Structure 1
Amino acid sequence: MISLDLSSTAIRALSSSMLSCPKLENFDLSDGKFIETFNLHSRSLRTLNLDGCSSLKEILVASEKMTSLDLSRTAIHALSSSMLSCSKLENFDLSDCKFIETFNLHSGSLRTLNLNGCSSLKEISVASEKMISLDLSGTAIHALSSSMLSCPKLEIFDLSDCKFIERFNLHSRSLRTLNLNGCSSLKEITVASEKMTSLNLSGTAICALSSSMLSCPKLEIFDVSDCKFIESFNLPLRSLRILYLDGCSSLKEISVTAGEMMGIFLSGCKLIESLNLHSKSLKELHLGGFSFVEEISVASEKITKLKFSSATIPSLSLSIGHPLSLEVLDLSGSNIESFPANIKNLSMLKELSLRGCRELVSLPELPPSLRKLCLRDCRKLMSLPEELPPSLIVLELDYCKLMSLPEELPPNLDIYTLEFGGVFKTAGKIPMLRGFTLNKRRTSS
C-alpha cells in the first residue's frame, strides 16, 4: 500500500503499531475531528495531511522521506525539533493553528512555510537555506528583524493583516514579492531588494515615502491604496508598471515618471489639485472622487483607457498627449457639462461611458469608431447629435429625458434602452433591435 485515505473518519488515535504499511507514501487524515494525539514513524511516508483535525494537540512524526506536512486547523500549541524528525521536509502548512504562540524551526530542506491565521503567534525564528515562500499573514507578530529570519533565498513574503507591526526593516538579495497589506499600525519601513517586483503597502499607517526607504530598482507593481496619511508621492521608480493609490484620501501631490508605466489607479484621492503623469507606455488611467482638481496632464503615446468617475470637474482642463490611441473613456458620475468639439478626432475611441453625468447638457459630434455609448441617468441631456456613429452597436439611454432622437439610427444597433425617459418623436425609422425596451407611454412616428 502506498496511499491511505482516512479523512473525515471518527478515529481517535493512531500509532505505528496500528498500521503495518512499510511502503506507505501518502496518508490523509484530514478532518478527523476526534484525533487528539498522533505518533508515527515511517521510512517511506512522503505526504501527511492532518488538516482540520481540530482536537489534535500532540504530535510526533519521524520520516526520512517526508516532503509535505499539513497541520492546518489543528489544536497544536507548540512545535519543536524533537516532535518532528523530517530531514527532507519541503512544504509545511500550519495555517489557522490558533493556539501557537511561538515558532522556532531550523531546516536545511524547507521551501514553503504557511503560518497564515495563527492569530496567537507572537514570536518566530526561522532558518532555512532553501525557503522561497513564507506566509505570516494574520499573526500577532510585533516586530521582525534579520536575526529572526535566516532565509537567504526567500522570494515571497506575506505579512498581510499583521496588525501589531509598527516598523519593518528588510534587506534581501532574493525577495521578489512583499505583502504588507492591512498592517494598520505600520508607520516606518525600509526595504532593499535587488529583485523585488511587487510591493503591497495598502492599508498601512505610513505617512511618507522616500527613495531612502525603498531601494527596489526592479519594482514593477506598487500598491499604496488606502494609505490615509500619505500627502505626497514622488518617487523615481523607473521600472514601475502598475501603481495603485486608490483611497489615499490625504494625497495632494503626485508626480510620476516611469518609462515602463502601464496603469495608474487614483480613485478616491479627494484632495489632489493637479496631476502630471509622464510615461511613454501608459495604457490605463483610473481617476475618481476628486473634489478640487483643476488640471490633469497626461503624456503617453499608448494610452487606451481613461476612467474618470465621480468627480467635480465643471471646468476641468484635461490634456492628453497623443490621445489618438484612446479606446475607452469613462467619465461616469462626474458633473461634466459638455465636451470639446475635437472629441470626434479620437479616431480609435470604441467606448464612451457617461452614466450618471447629471449635469451633461449636450454632446458634440462623436468619433465614427464608437461602438458603445452609455448615457444612463444623464437627466439634463435633451438631445443627441444629429448623426450617431455608424459603427455604434450599444446605446444606453435609461432615465434620460430626451425630447427627440436622430432621424436615422445606426443599422447595426444591438442593444438600445429607453427606460423611464421623456416622450420623444423621431422622423426616421427605428431599425431592428435586439434587447429593445420602450416604455408603453412613449410614442413614435
Structure 2
Amino acid sequence: MTKSQAKMAGEIADLFSVIRQNTAFLGVTVSCAVKETFFPVANHASASDAGELPLGRHQGKLVKTVVAHVLSELNKNYTIVTKKLIGIDHHVEITMAISNVDSNDIQIVGIHGMDGSNSSTIAKAEKLKSPNPSHCEGLIKSPDFSTLATPERLKVEGRISLESLFNTSNLGMIKEIKLGECLNLVEVEGFTGLKSLERLYMSRCISLERLADISNLEMLKEIWLGGCSNLVEIGGFMGLISLERLDLSRCVSLVRLPAVSDLGKLKELWLGECFKLAEIGSFRGLECLEILDLSRCKSLEKLPDVSDLGMLKELWLGECSKLVEVGSLRGLKSLERLDLSWCISLERSPDVSNLGMLKELRLGDCPKLIEVGGAGGLKSLEILDFTRCKSLERLPDISDLGMLKELWLGECSKLAEVRCFRGLKSLERLDLTRCICLERLLDLSDLGMLKELRLGECKALAEVGSFTGLKSLEILDLTRCISVERLHGVSDLEMLKELWLGGCSKLVEIGDFWGLKFLNKLDVSGCVSLERNYPMYKTWQR
C-alpha cells in the first residue's frame, strides 16, 4: 500500500470511529437492526476497500463505498446518510451513480438534520419512493418534487423553517404526506392531482392559516391538522368519500366547521380545544362515526342533533363551559362513554335511559346540575362520576346497576342521603369525601367487592352501618368525621390494609381489629374521646 493509500485508510478508520461514537449521524429512519449491520460493513470498508478508493479527499467517494456495501447487505432497502460528511446534493448524485445499485430498489432516503439544504436536491433522485427532508433546520424553500416519478410517501417535519410547499399536484401515486411541525409553513398548494393520497399529516403547523382545496381526494382516509393554531379557513370536505379520521383538535382560531354530512365513512372526528368554534353543522349522514370529541369547545352553547349516530361509541363534551343543553341521545345504541364533566352551565343531564351499552358516565364538576334522568337503566355502566356536583341533592335510584365498579360523589355538598346500594354487586370504589350534609350511610352489606370506601370530612355523618360483609375492603377513610361515635364490624374486614380515623373527635369505640393481619396503615390521631377511654390506642399508630 502506498503512503497516500495508507493515509486514506487511516482517515477512514478515524471517520468510522467517530460514527460509532455518535449514532445520531445515522438517519432516524434507520432501525437498530440496520445500525448493527452498518458497523460491520463500515469496518470492512475501512479495512479492505481503502486501496480501491481513488486518491483524493472528496468525501463523496467514501460515502459511495459505504452506501454500496450497506445497500448490498440490506437488500437495497435503505440509504444511510450522515449529517456532516457531505452535502445532500453530492450524496444524491453519488448514490444514484453507484453502478451496482438499482435506484428502483431504494425505498427510503433519510436526509435528516442537514442545515441549509439546497432546494433542488431531491429532483436528482427520480426513483425515490419516500423523500424525507425532515429535521433540515435550514430548509426554507421546498424541494422540487416534480421529477419524482412514483414516490409513495413524503415526510417533511421536525420544526424546520419551510415557509411554503412546492406544488405537489403531479405526484399522482403518493399515498402519505407528513408536514408536522413545519412552524413557518403558511400555505400548501396543489393537492388537486393527488388521486392516490390516503393520509395527510399537518399537525402543529402553527403558521398555517388556510387549507387548500382537497375536495377531489377521493382516496383520502386520514386528515391530521391538530394544533394548527392559526388555521381559520378550511375549503370544505365535499368529495372525501373515503375519509375515516379528521383531527382538528387545538385549532384555536377555527370559528366554523365546514359541512361534514357527506363524510359517510367517517369514524373519528376530533374537535377538542377549538376554543372559538361556535357553529357546527348537522351530523346527519355520519352513519359510521364512532368517536366525537368536542371537549373544551368553550364557545359551544348547543350540541347539534346526534340521535342518528347509531355507531357512536365515545362522546366527549367535557369543559364545554357554555353548553346549557344536550339534546336527545335516543338512538345512540352503541354509546359506551359519555363525558360531560366541567360543563359548568349545564343544569340537567340528557335522558340516558336508552343507552344500554354505556360503560362510563362522567358528570363531575357540573355545579349547576340538579337532576339526572334515566341513570337507573344503564345495565352496562361501570363508572358513574358526580364529583363536585354542588347542586345535586338526591341521587337517582341506581340499585339495578349490577356492573357498576366506581361511584364518585365526593364534594356533593348538598347531598343529604344516599340509599340504593343494594344490588351493586360489582362496586369496587365508593367516594363520598366532603359530602358535608350527609348524615347517615346505611346498609353496606351487599358491597362484597368493595375495595375503597372514602368518607373523609363528612362532618354531619353520625351513623354508619355495619361493615360486616365487606370482605374485599382494603381502604377505609373516615378522616375528620367529627360526628361519628361508633364503628361496627371493623373486625370483619379481613383484607383491610389502611384505616384512616384521624380527627374523629367523638369516636369512642371501634371494636377489636387485632385480627386484621394485612393492616399496615392506621391513623387514630386526634381521636380524643377514644384516647380518653382507651389510652392504649395512642400506641397503635402504624
TM-score (norm 2): 0.73
Q: Paired residue for 1:313?
A: 391
User: Is 1:433 equivalent to 2:530 in the alignment?
Assistant: no
Q: Paired residue for 1:89?
A: 151
Q: Paired residue for 1:271?
A: 345
Work out whether residues 339 and 363 of structure 1, in 8 Å CA contact, stay in contact via their aligned partners in 2.
Answer: yes
Which whole-Å CA distance do the structure 1 matches of 2:357 and 2:410 have between them?
A: 25
TM superposition shift of 1:76: 1.3
Q: Paired residue for 1:115?
A: 179
Report the CA distance shift for 1:217/1:16 in structure 2 as closer, same or farther (over 3 A): farther
TM superposition shift of 1:286: 0.8
TM superposition shift of 1:56: 3.2
Which whole-Å CA distance do the structure 2 matches of 1:119 and 1:57 have between them?
A: 19
Q: 2:422 aligns to what SS in structure 1?
A: helix
User: 1:103-147: per-residue Cα shift (whole Å, max 9, x none)?
Assistant: 12131332221111112112112342322211111222222243x
Q: Paired residue for 1:280?
A: 356
Percent identity over the alignment? 19
Work out whether residues 228 and 247 of structure 1, in 8 Å CA contact, stay in contact via their aligned partners in 2.
Answer: yes
Which amino acid letter does the alignment assign opposite residue 52 of structure 1?
A: G
Which whole-Å CA distance do the structure 1 matches of 2:501 and 2:89 have between them?
A: 66
Aligned pair partner of 1:394 in 462, 474, 479? 474
TM superposition shift of 1:243: 0.3
Aligned pair partner of 2:81 in 29, 36, 39? 29
Which whole-Å CA distance do the structure 1 matches of 2:381 and 2:321 have between them?
A: 25
User: Gaps (5+ residues) in structure 2?
Assistant: 1-15, 27-56, 97-102, 538-542
Which amino acid letter does the alignment assign opposite residue 454 of structure 2?
A: L
Q: 1:48 aligns to what SS in structure 2?
A: strand
User: Is 1:302 equivalent to 2:353 in the alignment?
Assistant: no
- Two-structure CA RMSD over aligned residues (Å): 3.1
Work out whether residues 45 and 63 of structure 1, in 8 Å CA contact, stay in contact via their aligned partners in 2.
Answer: no
Which amino acid letter does the alignment assign opposite residue 162 of structure 2?
A: I
Q: Paired residue for 2:447?
A: 368
Q: Is 299-308 or 417-426 further displaced after alignment?
A: 417-426
Q: 2:440 aligns to what SS in structure 1?
A: coil
Q: Paired residue for 1:409?
A: 491
Q: Paired residue for 2:401?
A: 323
User: Is 1:170 equivalent to 2:237 in the alignment?
Assistant: yes
Q: Paired residue for 1:71?
A: 133
Which whole-Å CA distance do the structure 1 matches of 2:435 and 2:120 have between them?
A: 63
Q: 2:441 aligns to what SS in structure 1?
A: coil
TM superposition shift of 1:294: 1.5
TM superposition shift of 1:100: 1.5
Q: Paired residue for 1:292?
A: 368
User: Is 1:200 equivalent to 2:270 in the alignment?
Assistant: yes
User: Gaps (5+ residues) in structure 1?
Assistant: none
Aligned pair partner of 1:385 in 434, 440, 465? 465
User: 1:25-47: per-residue Cα shift (whole Å, max 9, x none)?
Assistant: 322336x2686543414224322
Work out whether residues 202 and 224 of structure 2, in 8 Å CA contact, stay in contact via their aligned partners in 1.
Answer: yes
TM superposition shift of 1:196: 0.6
Report the CA distance shift for 1:254/1:101 in structure 2 as closer, same or farther (over 3 A): same
Q: Paired residue for 1:235?
A: 306
User: Is 1:143 equivalent to 2:217 in the alignment?
Assistant: no
Report the CA distance shift for 1:64/1:269 in structure 2 as closer, same or farther (over 3 A): same
Q: Paired residue for 2:3?
A: none
Report the CA distance shift for 1:292/1:183 in structure 2 as closer, same or farther (over 3 A): same
Which whole-Å CA distance do the structure 1 matches of 2:466 and 2:133 have between them?
A: 69
Q: Paired residue for 1:105?
A: 168
User: 1:366-399: per-residue Cα shift (whole Å, max 9, x none)?
Assistant: 2233422331533413453123433232223163
Aligned pair partner of 2:295 in 189, 206, 225? 225
Which whole-Å CA distance do the structure 2 matches of 1:321 and 1:219 have between them?
A: 32
Report the CA distance shift for 1:406/1:394 in structure 2 as closer, same or farther (over 3 A): same
Q: How many residues align?
A: 438
User: 1:235-262: per-residue Cα shift (whole Å, max 9, x none)?
Assistant: 2222211000000000111132211111
Q: 1:409 aligns to what SS in structure 2?
A: helix
Report the CA distance shift for 1:322/1:14 in structure 2 as closer, same or farther (over 3 A): farther
TM superposition shift of 1:202: 1.0
Work out whether residues 487 and 510 of structure 2, in 8 Å CA contact, stay in contact via their aligned partners in 1.
Answer: yes
TM superposition shift of 1:227: 0.5
User: 1:59-117: per-residue Cα shift (whole Å, max 9, x none)?
Assistant: 51344553333321212112243x67443322222113532121121313322211111
Q: Is 118-127 or 332-341 further displaced after alignment?
A: 332-341
Which whole-Å CA distance do the structure 2 matches of 1:69 and 1:357 have between them?
A: 61
Report the CA distance shift for 1:316/1:19 in structure 2 as closer, same or farther (over 3 A): same
Compare CA radii of gyration and give the structure with the larger one. 2
Which whole-Å CA distance do the structure 2 matches of 1:306 and 1:153 have between them?
A: 41
Runs of 4+ in 1 over 6 A off after TM superposition: none
TM superposition shift of 1:149: 6.3
Which whole-Å CA distance do the structure 2 matches of 1:18 and 1:59 have between them?
A: 20
Which amino acid letter does the alignment assign opposite residue 261 of structure 1?
A: L
Aligned pair partner of 1:19 in 64, 67, 72? 64
Which of the pair is proportionally richer in strand? 1
